[in-house]
Amino acid sequence: MTAGLESGKFSPNDLLGTYPYLDIGGFQFWDHNRAGFGTIGFREAMAYSSNTFFGQVGQRVGERTLAEWSRKFGFGAASGIELSSEEEKGTVPDPEWKLKVLKEPWYAGNTINMSIGQGDTQASPLQVSVMSAVVANGGFMVRPHLNLDDASAQQWRRSLNMKPSTVASLQQSMRAVFEIGTAAGLSTLPVAIAGKSGTAEDGDRPNHAWFTLYAPYEKPEIVVTAFGENAGGGGSSIAGPLAVQTLEAYLRLRNRLPPA
C-alpha cells in the first residue's frame, strides 16, 4: 500500500475491481474468499485482506519499488536491537537475489507473491512490529532497544518522509480491520485498535498465522505482534485473539481495565 501511494501511481481514493483470482502467466493467484470483494479502495482492501487488490497494486508499481519500501520499513536487515547475534535479517526478494540464490529469473508471479508477503519474502515478528510502529507513530522508523537510558527519543527514530496522506490512509485502513474487516469480531476491549491479520504459506506444511496491532488508535502506546508457527488457520482466528489478549493484559497493568 505504501509503495503504491508513494509511487504516485495511486491516490488514497482510488478504486480497483477485485476478482476470485488473478491469472498471471497461466498461474492463478486467488483471493482468500475465492470470490473477490467487488470494486473497493485501499481501506476496504486492507480490512478484507484482498490479495487480488494488492496484487494489482504490486503489478503496477513493480518489484523494485516493493523491495525499496520493504527495506525502508526494516525488512531484510537487522533491527539494531541489542540481541543482534540472535536476530535473522529475513529476505526481501528481488531479481538479483533470485538469480543469485535460486538461479532463476524473476517472473510476474513473483511480484504478485511479494505484494502480499508470500513467495520468498521472510520477516520476523520483531520486523513486523517495527513496521506497525511506523504506521502508529506517524511515519517514523524506530530502532527497537531493551536498555533504558536518558537519551532523547529522537535518537532512536528517523522519518521515512512519507506523505501525510499516505500515513493517514495507512492508519485508517488498519483501523478498518477492526471496524469492518477480518478482526471485527475481536473488538472486545474499551479502546480503539488498529491492526492487520496475515496468513503465510510454508510449503507443504500448515500455514503460519500472523496478527499485528497497535493501540489506543488515537494515541498509540503499544504494538503487539503474535505469530503462530504452522498453526493452520487464518491470522484473525488464531493469532488475532492472542494479540488482543496481550493488549488486554497490558491495559490491566496500566489500570485501564479492572483486574480480571
pLDDT(212) > 70? yes
Beta strand 21-24 with 27-30 is: antiparallel
Side-chain-facing half-sphere of 38: CA atoms under 13 Å: 2
Mean pLDDT, residues 158-163: 96
Mean pLDDT, residues 115-136: 96
**Each residue's pLDDT tens digit, 29-47:** 999 999 999 999 999 999 9
pLDDT class of 151 with cuts at 50, 70, 90: low
Identify whether 113 is part of a domain.
yes
Identify whether 249 is part of a domain.
no
Identify whether 103 is part of a domain.
yes
Mean pLDDT, residues 59-78: 97
pLDDT(148) > 90? no
Identify whether 205 is part of a domain.
no
Provide the pLDDT for residue 252.
Answer: 94
Q: What predicted TM-score, i.e. pTM, was given to this entire model?
A: 0.94
Identify whether 45 is part of a domain.
yes
pLDDT class of 146 with cuts at 50, 70, 90: confident
pLDDT(124) > 90? yes
pLDDT class of 152 with cuts at 50, 70, 90: low
Provide the pLDDT for residue 134.
Answer: 98
What CATH number is attached to the domain comprising 7?
A: 3.40.710.10
Range of the domain at 159: 2-181
Cβ-based burial of 196 (10 A; exposed 0-12, middle 13-18, buried ≥19) = buried
Identify whether 252 is part of a domain.
no
Mean pLDDT, residues 168-196: 97
Mean pLDDT, residues 186-194: 95
- Give the count of domains, the chain: 1
Question: Can you give the chain as a three-state secondary structure string?
Answer: CHHHHHCCCCCCCCEEECCCEEEECCEEEECCCCCCCCEEEHHHHHHHCCHHHHHHHHHHHCHHHHHHHHHHCCCCCCCCCCCHHHCCCCECCCHHHHHHHCCCCCCHHHHHHHHCCCCCCECCHHHHHHHHHHHHCCCEEECCCCCCCCCCHHHHEEECCCCHHHHHHHHHHHHHHHHCCCCHHHCCCCCCCEEEEEEEEECCEEEEEEEEEEECCCCCCEEEEEEECCCCCCHHHHHHHHHHHHHHHHHHHCCCCCCC
Identify whether 147 is part of a domain.
yes
Provide the pLDDT for residue 150.
Answer: 62
More confident residue, 102 or 256: 102
Identify whether 195 is part of a domain.
no
Say which residue the cell 497490558 belongs to. 250
